[in-house]
Amino acid sequence: MKIVVLTGAGISAESGISTFRDNNGLWEQHRIEDVATPEAFQRNPKLVHTFYNARREQLDNQAIAPNAAHLALVELEKVLGDDFLLITQNVDDLHQRAGSKNLLAMHGSLRESLCSYCKHTGLVKSPLSTDTVCPACTKKGGMRPNIVWFNEMPYYLEEIYAALASCDIFISIGTSGNVYPAAGFVAIANEAKAHTIELNLEPSNQNSNFAEHHQGPATKLVPQWVEAFMRDRMQLKH
Ligand code: NAD
């Protein structure tokens, strides 16, 4: 039984991290065009650095921690091992901190930097600025967060498409289904004849493409679904 899970900003909402579709298309009061495109970085790198440094600092706040939904996915992975793959669009580190291992962060990570010149990636140890020097090529001015911005190619697509083409169950959690290519994953899973499930606070844009949907907060729906799956699995074994 192979399960692929896709998560979006909604799974981290109850941990205290804002989504953006729920804020009228604003991410922490900023327009996407101002902070999440390569053009925005070229136009106003200082604003982009300030925005992502603040998002990263938020992760260090003691009050921000993985919630019951992140933790339930770790329990599912413990049972399924390599038959489980978690794909996240999130750039926070809550899945990693919860203990997920088979995890592909397709939109990058707030914790990492990327040098625009030499493509070196590394962990961010202090806030990034236009003065940050790349530890690999030593050039200044090209350091950016390792985040996949709009109009850029997400990471791991080959692995993701291969996993979707061979999965038995595809579950989408806390994502509005607006951002492609992730919004198109359900169609690929359907083509592969997988059972498709949406767990979201409200019907997403892709809702009608899922065979099964449940509406409610992730901290309730995800542990519930995982528990029911484990119970059914145990019963099948006996
Ligand atoms: P989105 O903001 O577009 O949509 C969030 C979805 O989650 C909505 O459909 C909403 O109804 C649902 N939701 C809200 N609270 C929920 C809850 N408690 N339980 C279950 N569902 C809930 O998010 P997206 O589809 O992931 O796309 C946003 C893009 O912005 C992604 O590419 C992501 O990288 C980036 N982003 C990331 C973070 C993060 O890392 N935590 C936060 C904001 C934006």
The full 3-state SS of 95-158, as one line of letters, equals: HHHHCCCCEEECCEEEEEEEECCCCCEEECCCCCCCCCECCCCCCECCEEEEECCCCCCCCCHH
Active-site residues, by number, are 107
pTM listed for this prediction: 0.96
In the reported structure, the alpha carbon of residue 236 is separated from the centroid of ligand 1 by a whole-number distance in angstroms of 35
Residues whose beta carbon lies within 6 Å of some atom of ligand 1: 8-10, 12-14, 17, 19-22, 27, 89-92, 107, 174-176, 178-179, 200-202, 204, 217-218
Atom of ligand 1 nearest to the CA of 20: 2
For residues 209 and 55, the answer to whether their CB atoms sit within 8 Å is no
pLDDT in tens, 111-163: 999 999 999 999 999 999 999 999 999 999 999 999 999 999 999 999 999 99
Of all protein residues, the one whose alpha carbon is nearest to atom 22 of ligand 1 is 10
pLDDT in tens, 55-82: 999 999 999 999 999 999 999 999 999 9
Percent of the chain with pLDDT over 70: 99
For residues 195 and 173, the answer to whether their CB atoms sit within 8 Å is no
